[in-house]
Structure 1
Amino acid sequence: MLLLIPGPVQTRPETRAAMAQDIAPWDLDFRAVYAAIRERVRAIAGGREGEHATLPLQGCGHFIMEAAIRTFVPPGGKLLIPQNGAYADRAVRLAGEAGRQVVALPGPDTRPVTAEEIAAALAADPAISHVAMIHNETGSGIVNDPAVIGPAVRAAGRRLILDSVSAFGALPFSLADHPEVDVVVFTSGKCLEGLPGIGFAVARIDRVEASAGNAGSWSFDLSDVYQHALKAGWGSFRFTPAVQALAAFNVALDLYEQEGGQPARHARYRENARVFHEGVQALGLTPYLEWRHQGPVIVTVHQPADPNFALQPFVDALKRRGVLISNFWNTKVPTFRVGCIGAVTPEDMRGALAAMGEALEELGVRRRAPA
């Protein structure tokens, strides 16, 4: 089965094979593996030894994002969230339910937020301490670029929390270039092509130390993760982790380096997206985004207006042809989305397009323009 969703992604056999073992997470041999993973991840993030630390947490992207908000934004504190997609909507809820004040900056999910919009919102409310931004919106596929937004946050003397869950390892980013970033968060099962189960935060140590006592949660306190590492060692966990996922992630990092790291992975994903974006148009379908706003992670497509089209039968028809896509959408109008990340190639995307054409024919979908 060709898995074309934005995570968990299709993985290499070597990565999956690493899961097939029983591991004691506190064994000294595995402590060394875990400590090395933290250093490798910090390097990918462009962090510096002594200035940044890798703070893993069990669970999905929402868990690590909530932990970042709770840790770095004080209780009752105020943060700005550019709300131009479904995952920004979720960040608004995470922050609100954590007792933080949210200033939402509404925008369409068809283009990135601009530096001018951020600067104006920060100037209008001096009480805002942080901006929490989704790097790649996996509902639509747009990219909010920290190279554009970061300088506006820095110029205003505020801090940035970057949710790079579906972008990290593919889209260019370096903490060394962004002193305004308190933390960048991501997970094991997206562009680094590991298995799901581990969230990662790479954070400024000075900001972590200054945030002790903010979280209001033992489980979601990144400052506590840091203090535990100082006391028990960087190969130690607070609570039992998804240890097999970590073993697989270590292999995935080897494969990432062998491919050529971020530039090579971005180039492959970008070509995957280009092939698919052009290919759906050749089928008579309409991409949700203009190419100039299209990121490399996911291509979202308007559902055809033909009454014979319904998403689940379309997904089922594709699955019968060996291609699996998401059976839901996160946009304001009906769409379907196809992941371009994971251990897939442009040739795989061409195969998926052929299957898509057959599925549309099987369903009798002739009118393929959107409603």
Structure 2
Amino acid sequence: MLLLIPGPVQTRPEVRSAMAVDIAPWDRDFFPESIAIREKVRDVAGGLPDRHVALPLQGAGHFIVEAAIRTFVPAAAGKLLVVSNGAYADRMERLAREAGRDVAILRIPDTRGVTPGEVAAALAADSAVTHLGIVYSETGSGIVNDVVAVGEVVRAAGRRMIVDGVSAFGALPFDLKAQPEVDAMVFTSNKCIEGLPGMGFAVCPIERVEASAGNAASWSFDLSDVYATGRRAGFGSFRFTPPVQALHAFGVALDIFIAEGGQPARLARYCENCRILYEGCVKLGLVPYLDWKEQGPIIALFHQPKHPGFKLLEFVEALKRRGVLISNFHNTVEPTFRIGCIGHVGPDEIRFAVGAIRGALEDLGVRQKNAA
């Protein structure tokens, strides 16, 4: 089965086989591997050994996003401005509110990225805002927010930034040392590094982590406590039992990522995947949700055909019969379906998927008027 969702992604056999081992996470023989993973993650993020640290946390992307919010946005004196142009920004807003944080919203259409000018104006209008929360790659719609350009205005305004890089890290460029306004770049093991689910990571400036002690009001979601435990017990250690096999497999995936050429090579492959998918579906008569200039390389969305024979779940099942699995839901107001361009897939697999889409539409009796 070809898995084309924005995560968990299609993985290599070497990564999957790495799960088939029994490991004790408290065994000091495992510590060097755990430490090496943290250091490689820090390096991929553009961090420096004496200034930045990679902090692992068990769980899904929502867990690491909530941990970053709790850790860096003080409940009493902080306020988070969320750039809201997609479903995962909406989730960041909910996580912040339910953590008891003061939240403001900069609402943008989910068909484009936010502009630096819009962020600058929102920051100027609300002096209480201490942090900007932004989703780098919005898998709800496929858009990409320019965190470098936005970071410049955040830095100029003397504010801080939390970047949800869950579906961006490893593919879209990011350099933590060049963005000192960032408190945390957060991501997970099962997206663009092409590992398996189970681990989240936050890459942060050490001085900001040290200054955040006491903010979280949560033992589980306190990144400063993750850091303090590392200082006390060694950075190969964990506070609570981690999904250690998933971490081990992530280490294998990370080494493959580096050997492939790192972020530039991964981005190039995903961009080509997205181009083939986008152009191929247009030839089938499908209408993309985004204009090409707004289309990110991680996931592409298409409007559901306005045809009585099209039902999303039936379309998903028809694709499965042809060997392709896509998401069976959408996060947009208008009905869409979404197809991931990431994971251990390349142009041949994407061309196969386009053919399967054609066949699935035919199975449902759907023929687009302008199909080539």
Tell me the distance in 1 between the aligned counterparts of 2:179 and 2:105. Answer: 23
The amino acid of 2:262's aligned partner reads: G
1:6-155 pair list within 5 angstroms: 6-76=6-76, 77-155=78-156
TM-score by length of 2: 0.98
The superposition leaves residues 59-81 of structure 1 with CA deviations (integer Å, 9 ceiling, x where unpaired) of: 00000000000000001421100
Partner of 1:228: 229
Consecutive aligned runs of 4 or more in structure 1 exceeding 6 Å deviation: none
What's the offset of the Cα at 1:30?
0.9
What's the offset of the Cα at 1:286?
0.5
Tell me the distance in 2 between the aligned counterparts of 1:310 and 1:52. Answer: 48
What's the offset of the Cα at 1:366?
2.2
SS at match of 1:28: coil
The amino acid of 2:69's aligned partner reads: I
What's the offset of the Cα at 1:368?
6.2
The superposition leaves residues 210-248 of structure 1 with CA deviations (integer Å, 9 ceiling, x where unpaired) of: 110000000000000000000000101100000000110
Identify unmatched segments of 5+ residues in structure 2: none
The amino acid of 2:103's aligned partner reads: V
The superposition leaves residues 36-85 of structure 1 with CA deviations (integer Å, 9 ceiling, x where unpaired) of: 10000000000011111111000000000000000000014211001000
- % identical equivalent positions: 66
The superposition leaves residues 241-276 of structure 1 with CA deviations (integer Å, 9 ceiling, x where unpaired) of: 000001100100111011100000000000000000
Tell me the distance in 2 between the aligned counterparts of 1:335 and 1:73. Answer: 35
Tell me the distance in 2 between the aligned counterparts of 1:147 and 1:209. Answer: 25
The superposition leaves residues 124-178 of structure 1 with CA deviations (integer Å, 9 ceiling, x where unpaired) of: 0111000010000001100011111000100100000000000000000110110
The amino acid of 2:312's aligned partner reads: L
SS at match of 1:354: helix
Partner of 1:173: 174
Tell me the distance in 2 between the aligned counterparts of 1:199 and 1:283. Answer: 38
Tell me the distance in 2 between the aligned counterparts of 1:16 and 1:368. Answer: 42
Contact 1:6 1:190 in 2 (8 A): yes
Structure 2 residue 356 is matched with structure 1 residue 355 = yes
Partner of 1:332: 333
Contact 1:85 1:109 in 2 (8 A): yes
Partner of 2:256: 255
Contact 1:305 1:368 in 2 (8 A): no
The amino acid of 1:332's aligned partner reads: V
Tell me the number of residue pairs that the alignment of Structure 1 and Structure 2 aligns: 369
Partner of 1:266: 267
Tell me the distance in 2 between the aligned counterparts of 1:367 and 1:352. Answer: 18
RMSD: 0.8
Identify unmatched segments of 5+ residues in structure 1: none
Contact 1:304 1:368 in 2 (8 A): no
Contact 2:284 2:368 in 1 (8 A): no
The superposition leaves residues 311-337 of structure 1 with CA deviations (integer Å, 9 ceiling, x where unpaired) of: 000000000010000000001100000
Tell me the distance in 1 between the aligned counterparts of 2:53 and 2:289. Answer: 38
SS at match of 1:240: coil
Partner of 1:278: 279
